[in-house]
Amino acid sequence: MSATISGFSKLSKSEKIDWIVRHYLSNSKSAKQTITQYFNADQKLQQLHDEFIENTITNYYLPLGVAPNFVINNKTYAIPMAIEESSVVAAASNAAKFWMQRGGFKAKVLSTTKIGQVHFVFTGNFEDLKQYFNTIKSKLITDTKPITANMEKRGGGIIDIELRDKTEDLEHYYQLHATFETLDAMGANFINSCLEQFAKTFKTEADKYLSAPIEIVMSILSNYVPNCLVRAEVSCKVEDLKDKTISGIAFAEKFVRAVNIAEIEPYRAVTHNKGIMNGIDAVVLATGNDFRAVEAGVHAYAVKNGKYSSLTHAKIEEGVFTFWIEIPLALGTVGGLTGLHPLVKVALDILGKPSAKELMQIVAVAGLAQNFAALRSLTTTGIQEGHMKMHLMNILNQFNATHEEKEEIIQHFKTHTVTHSAVVSEIEKLRQ
């Protein structure tokens, strides 16, 4: 039976678990066993995980895999990926191997500027507001010096602050639109602290200069970072794309056409871009970054021209096939979970302790590789053949197949098409 409670956060972890089990879980004995079996035996490590968020009752695990053989700017990487979806790591690995033999991936960071805004309401004269902003701008920056000192020592900090008039969109609405460089930090706390100081100074000083008051609505960074851009690409001669089943030119033309469809058809573009994010999110998560922020920013970028479209592009010019992606990625390799979560430290170590810029390139390449693998399957054998073979183990585990049953069924489906019903049929045959 469901229930409400006051003071849940003040309960101990075991008391929280007992309350949840008692009021919300039908099979209390097995449910409690499931919850507790995911505890870390190392109490210090468990306490670290418990303190990442509030009201923790257990740990939620995702597999951490590795996709090897990625050659990026002539350097070889094994890329860690945290994801639950079958075939993602295998697809990335296959794409890496394919392009390793054709010159590898090229990537470069185009810019790293991040955005934050102070949103406010002002009912007075805009010219007066503009004059006040020009007067106070230097003090806005000076008053943040205690916050920006360490960042500035490393070469980052506040780049600029602009006053933006948004009254055509919303009555009396204006912004302080600020740009930042946060180097190897994602920089959310740094940016938000600066913005809140901007707002405090801006409102406090306004009484000396303006006849109408300034009402601060909110001060917050933006996860839309169209000027924090990275580009990744692969290219080779068209004839180098041939394999046993298709010529190089036939493959290239089908592939480019598939990308063109995603560029103009939003229903296809959403699924196309979701596949890209399979690769991107998996690396972002493995390296302790905020995949929700990345998702929001990337999908906003996909609609920057007024219509949701493909994040990747492809062309054939003078006998050369080129496939590329250009996306906004605000990532960090210091701060947040990057210095706390033991497996995040391992993941970054696997990558050679990259800078934020290098990580941006690696993540963009993972997305491009994932998209290449998906489109290669879609335009040749079809997506389901490879995906269902990878999904086979999930089906077998759903039916609690023994080790011997798994071995026999896997052998059978090396020469047969995998479908859910076909797997169930084979399990039933064996058990009869």
How much helix, strand and coil, in percent to the nearest 5, is found in the chain? 50, 20, 30
pLDDT for res 410? 82
102: closest CA among 278, 228, 248? 248
- Cα 216 versus chain centre, distance: 31
pLDDT in tens, 87-132: 899 999 999 999 999 999 999 999 999 999 999 999 999 999 999 9
Say which residue, 219 or 186, is predicted with more confidence.
219
Judge whether 85 counts as a catalytic residue: yes
Residue 387 has pLDDT above 60, yes or no: no
As a whole-number percent, the residues of the chain with pLDDT over 70 amount to: 97
- pLDDT at site 51: 92
Which pLDDT band, with edges at 50, 70 and 90, does 384 fall under?
Answer: low
Q: In the predicted model, is pLDDT for residue 386 greater than 60?
A: no
pLDDT of residue 1: 58
In the set 106, 108, 203, 274, the catalytic residue is 274
Q: What is the pLDDT of residue 180?
A: 97
Looking at 50, 233, 281, 290, which residue is catalytic? 290
Per-residue pLDDT at 2 = 72
Measure Cα distances from 92 to 119, 183, 366, 401 in Å: 42, 28, 7, 28
The pLDDT confidence band at residue 61, using thresholds 50, 70 and 90, is very high
Does position 134 have pLDDT exceeding 90, yes or no? yes
Using 50, 70 and 90 to split pLDDT, how confident is the model at 409? confident
Provide mean pLDDT across the span 339-352. 95
pLDDT at 369 over 70: yes
Mean pLDDT over residues 154-158, rounded?
Answer: 95
Q: What pLDDT does residue 326 have?
A: 98
* 426 within 8 A of 409, measured Cβ to Cβ: yes
Q: What is the pLDDT of residue 60?
A: 94
Q: Is the pLDDT of residue 301 over 70?
A: yes
Tell me the pTM: 0.88
Q: Which residue in the list 119, 357, 387, 391 is annotated as catalytic?
A: 387
Provide the greatest CA pair distance for the chain: 88
Amino acid at 109: V
Which residue type occupies 147? I
274 catalytic per annotation: yes
Q: What is the mean pLDDT of the chain?
A: 93
Q: Using 50, 70 and 90 to split pLDDT, how confident is the model at 329? A: very high
Whether residue 154 contacts residue 183, with contact meaning beta carbons closer than 8 Å, is answered with yes
Q: What is the pLDDT of residue 411?
A: 82
Evaluate the CA torsion angle 289, 293, 299, 302 in order and state its sign.
negative
Hunting for tokens 């047969």 — which residue is that? 416
Looking at residue 337, its pLDDT comes to 83
Tell me the angle at which helices 266-286 and 356-378 cross, rounded to the nearest 10 degrees.
140
Say what the pLDDT of residue 178 is.
Answer: 98
Confidence check: pLDDT of 9 > 70: yes
- Pick the catalytic residue: 85, 205, 240, 405? 85
H or E element that contains 132:
helix 126-142
Tokens of 38: 């995911």
Residue 383 has pLDDT above 60, yes or no: no
Min mean pLDDT across 5-19, 52-66, 323-337, 388-402 is at: 388-402
Give the pLDDT of residue 382.
58
Band (27; pLDDT cuts 50, 70, 90)? confident
Q: pLDDT category, 431, cuts 50, 70, 90? A: confident
